[in-house]
Amino acid sequence: MSTETDNQIKFDQSLDAKGLNCPLPILKTKVLLNKMEADEILFVEATDPHSQVDFEAYCARTEHEIIKFNVSDGIYSFYIKRAQNPKII
């Protein structure tokens, strides 16, 4: 079941991590990505100002790919493609 947003990026799962502070957005993202199939896309929204750095570091270590990032009105939005064979950290 894919969903389209205004900018036409389709995603398979979504996570509302708004109001959560580090490390909760990353931990919840990790749990969801571990349940997803390779190449599926997870859409995450967070309000933690460090989330951009945290998500970039997490994806660099696990080989998941941030295919789009946006920040608007204090909400950080990430589209993350699940890796074929993610590294376990």
Catalytic residue IDs: 22
Q: Could you give the CA distance from residue 19 to residue 44 in angstroms, rounded to a whole number?
A: 12
Query: Which positions ≥6 away from 66 have C-beta within 8 Å?
Result: 55, 56, 59, 78, 79, 80, 81
Both structure tokens of 52: 């951009």
